[in-house]
Amino acid sequence: MSPLRDSGANDHIMKAKTMNRREFLKTAGLAVGGLAASQFVPRLGFAAPNPRQLTIDTRTLEVNGKAATVYGLTENGKPGLTFAPGERFTVALSNRLKEDTIVHWHGLTPPWEQDGVADNPLPMLKPGETRPYDFALEEAGTFWMHAHTLQEQNLLAAPLIVHSKEDLSADRQEVVILLHDFSFKPAEELLAALNGGKGSHTMHGGHQMDMGGMGGKQMQHDMKSMGSGHDMSAMGGMGAMDLNDIEYDAYLANDRTLDDPEVVKVEKGGRVRLRIINGAASTAFHLKTGKLSAKLVAVDGHPVVAMTGDTFTMSMAQRIDLDIDIPQDGGAFPILALREGTGDRTGIVLATAGAKVERLRVKTEAKAPPLDLTLEATLRSTTPLTERRADKSVMAHLTGDMASYQWALEGLENLKLKSGERVEIAMMNMSMMAHPMHLHGHAFQVVDIDGKRFAGATRDTVLVPPMKTVTIAFDAGKPGHWPFHCHHLYHMVTGMMTHLEVS
Ligand SMILES: [Cu+2]
């Protein structure tokens, strides 16, 4: 069994800063060279003298007994960033890769220029480039950071935690869990298998796609849990859904598979705050706390009226904060993430000193169901929007299918927003896949599911299952050209993405 390891989450001590301010501003100047500097530079005065140093690099993991080269986003060798209450997001991001890249601060509300999407407006960082970021962190919570490119698939993702004063005074051990899906194949190859040779991807009776020699197993559509065939014509387009575009080689929690999990040492009778991030590119999970009862206190970094349970759904990019009390007599407590529609599992183990940690299987016979909106419909924001009539109400349609692998988000093309306007967008999913929809630069409130109005969660990513309509409301935020897209990586890159103009 693995030795006990401290969770990186527990380390929220400010790191020593190495680059001095003058050095840093010199690098900053390089970063904005060639751009409409007048547009960008005025936002770049550093309020804090010492930026945090965040590095994009490669690292080697062992997955299923094989070495895997993956990306890493680290500060002093530790994944991601944790901010103290009141601290600004003052970060020097360095690209040590041999390729261009860029990082999006998922869930934060920076000025648009610093949102971190390629050419929107800034280009990707060149190899060796360092780029400065500096803006106020408006809310505490569990956020994350990831490449807004196919590089996300190969673990260019990390936690981004903003502490509140209450977090620091609460006597709770923090444990951060980043979930991911992993393939030894490059993302480009995974994508080509999904959409390459458009029109030639006919469905076959055995739920397999013709993989042209890649091995159908890789792209199996696991419908078995639903007891349904995958023949679209037989379904008449209704009644069954498509799950799991990609069969991965492994599902990871903090870079490890469940047969060699991270074991986090906890105290008997101790109080734990789990911050769980679904950083997977195209995999949704049910999070299970097993013998431990958990209190769900926040989703996507935003507090909800606390809900007690042991199973919570998490689509791609969603986060949950769970408060857990460890029993006085201690023990080992697996925290599991079950992949929807399959028996695949990943997770970590919370263990008190001396507790025996049983070996856990990465796959079970029992299959987890597809995600639905049961949890979403019961969530209530503790910081709801003030009630008022929407200035703009629009309907958007989510379209596409597995056969063509062309996905779209339609109906928002002419929407022009002004900061402060109340906006409601009803998203109707006309496709047979669920889509986790994410709006950049804003938090929104879920206010309606299939015509049932309620004051739901404040969050930044919401799942819209097939044939469901989910309405979100928000006040238009900072001016910008804000991406709005499905957070299934391969749906996004094949078209399920638009932008909201805020002036
Ligand atoms: Cu999607």
User: Which of residues 197 and 269 earns the better pLDDT score?
Assistant: 269
CA of 485 to the centre of ligand 1 (A): 8
CA of 432 to the centre of ligand 1 (A): 10
Quickly tell me which residue has 């989450």 as its tokens. Answer: 9
CA of 496 to the centre of ligand 1 (A): 7
CA of 406 to the centre of ligand 1 (A): 10
Quickly tell me which residue has 């007048």 as its tokens. Answer: 38
CA of 261 to the centre of ligand 1 (A): 29
What is the band of 403 on the pLDDT scale with cuts at 50, 70, 90? confident
Model pLDDT, residue 48: 56
Model pLDDT, residue 242: 86
Q: Is residue 178 part of a domain?
A: no
Residues 48 and 67: their CA atoms lie apart, in Å, by 40
CA of 425 to the centre of ligand 1 (A): 17
DSSP conformation letters of 199-264: T---B-TTS-B--TTS-GGGG----GGGT----HHHHTT-S--B--S---SEEEETTB-TTS--EE
Overall average pLDDT of the 265-291 stretch: 98
CA of 491 to the centre of ligand 1 (A): 5
pLDDT higher than 70, residue 225: no
CA of 333 to the centre of ligand 1 (A): 33
- Report the mean per-residue pLDDT for the chain: 85
CA of 213 to the centre of ligand 1 (A): 26
pLDDT higher than 70, residue 12: no
pLDDT higher than 50, residue 493: yes
| Claim to verify: residue 91 and residue 147 sit in the same structural domain | yes
DSSP conformation letters of 138-153: ---EEEEEEESSGGGG
CA of 226 to the centre of ligand 1 (A): 20
Overall average pLDDT of the 312-319 stretch: 98
Overall average pLDDT of the 139-155 stretch: 97
Q: Is residue 187 part of a domain?
A: no
Range of the domain at 257: 250-372
CA of 66 to the centre of ligand 1 (A): 31
Q: Is residue 164 part of a domain?
A: yes
Residues 248 and 396: their CA atoms lie apart, in Å, by 31
User: Which of residues 162 and 12 earns the better pLDDT score?
Assistant: 162
pLDDT higher than 80, residue 204: no
pLDDT higher than 60, residue 170: yes
Q: Which of 323, 338, 372 is the last residue of a domain?
A: 372
Overall average pLDDT of the 477-489 stretch: 97
CB 243 within 8 A of CB 340: yes
For the chain, what is the domain count?
A: 3
Q: Which of 327, 357, 372 is the last residue of a domain?
A: 372
Q: Is 305 left (phi over 0), alpha (psi -120 to 50) or beta?
A: beta
| Claim to verify: residue 166 and residue 36 sit in the same structural domain | yes
| Claim to verify: residue 163 and residue 35 sit in the same structural domain | yes
- Residue 323: phi and psi, rounded to 5, are -95, 130
Model pLDDT, residue 484: 97
Q: Is residue 176 part of a domain?
A: no
CA of 81 to the centre of ligand 1 (A): 28
CA of 486 to the centre of ligand 1 (A): 5
Overall average pLDDT of the 72-77 stretch: 96
| Claim to verify: residue 274 and residue 316 sit in the same structural domain | yes
CA of 314 to the centre of ligand 1 (A): 14
What is the band of 241 on the pLDDT scale with cuts at 50, 70, 90? confident
Overall average pLDDT of the 311-323 stretch: 98
| Claim to verify: residue 417 and residue 332 sit in the same structural domain | no
Q: Is residue 399 part of a domain?
A: yes
What is the band of 177 on the pLDDT scale with cuts at 50, 70, 90? very high
Overall average pLDDT of the 61-71 stretch: 96
| Claim to verify: residue 409 and residue 331 sit in the same structural domain | no
Least confident of 45-49, 203-207, 273-277, 435-439: 203-207
Q: Report which of 341, 390, 335, 343 is spatially closest to residue 362, judged by C-alpha positions.
A: 343
pLDDT tens, position by position, 335-384? 999 999 999 999 999 999 999 999 999 999 999 999 999 999 999 999 99
pLDDT higher than 60, residue 422: yes
Q: Is residue 21 part of a domain?
A: no
Model pLDDT, residue 46: 55
Q: Is 29 left (phi over 0), alpha (psi -120 to 50) or beta?
A: alpha
CA of 433 to the centre of ligand 1 (A): 7
CA of 463 to the centre of ligand 1 (A): 9
User: Which of residues 364 and 228 earns the better pLDDT score?
Assistant: 364
CA of 387 to the centre of ligand 1 (A): 30
Q: How much is the CA Rg of the chain, to the nearest whole Å?
A: 22
Overall average pLDDT of the 178-188 stretch: 96
- DSSP helix/strand/coil, 475: strand
| Claim to verify: residue 71 and residue 100 sit in the same structural domain | yes
Overall average pLDDT of the 373-402 stretch: 96
CA of 329 to the centre of ligand 1 (A): 44
CA of 374 to the centre of ligand 1 (A): 19
| Claim to verify: residue 34 and residue 160 sit in the same structural domain | yes
CA of 228 to the centre of ligand 1 (A): 21
Q: Is residue 179 part of a domain?
A: no
Model pLDDT, residue 50: 85
| Claim to verify: residue 256 and residue 214 sit in the same structural domain | no
Q: Is 290 left (phi over 0), alpha (psi -120 to 50) or beta?
A: left
| Claim to verify: residue 423 and residue 487 sit in the same structural domain | yes
Could you tell me which residues come within 8 angstroms of residue 139 by beta carbon, excluding any fewer than 6 positions away?
Answer: 109, 162, 301, 302, 443
CA of 483 to the centre of ligand 1 (A): 14
What is the band of 426 on the pLDDT scale with cuts at 50, 70, 90? very high
Overall average pLDDT of the 282-307 stretch: 98
CA of 8 to the centre of ligand 1 (A): 31
Q: Which of 320, 350, 372 is the last residue of a domain?
A: 372
What is the amino acid identity at position 457? A
Query: Each residue of 447-470: b (16+ CB within 10 Å) or e?
Result: bbbeeeebbbbbbbbbbbbbebbb
User: Which CATH number does the domain housing residue 276 bear?
Assistant: 2.60.40.420
Number of Cβ atoms within 10 Å of the Cβ of 138:
12
- DSSP helix/strand/coil, 114: helix
pLDDT higher than 50, residue 311: yes
Model pLDDT, residue 286: 98
What is the band of 134 on the pLDDT scale with cuts at 50, 70, 90? very high
Model pLDDT, residue 47: 52
Residues 382 and 455: their CA atoms lie apart, in Å, by 9
Overall average pLDDT of the 90-94 stretch: 97
Q: Report which of 209, 58, 61, 32 is spatially closest to residue 134, judged by C-alpha positions.
A: 32
pLDDT higher than 80, residue 149: yes
Neighbours of ion ligand 1 (CB under 5 A): 435, 486, 488, 491
CB 251 within 8 A of CB 368: no
Least confident of 41-45, 205-209, 423-427, 475-479: 205-209
| Claim to verify: residue 482 and residue 351 sit in the same structural domain | no
What is the band of 16 on the pLDDT scale with cuts at 50, 70, 90? very low
Q: Is residue 51 part of a domain?
A: yes
pLDDT higher than 50, residue 237: no
CA of 281 to the centre of ligand 1 (A): 11
What percent of the chain stands above pLDDT 90?
A: 79
Model pLDDT, residue 104: 98
pLDDT higher than 60, residue 249: yes
Q: Report which of 367, 281, 343, 277 is spatially closest to residue 314, judged by C-alpha positions.
A: 277
Handedness of CA 223, 311, 346, 282 (dihedral sign): positive
| Claim to verify: residue 45 and residue 160 sit in the same structural domain | yes
Least confident of 39-43, 70-74, 243-247, 256-260: 39-43
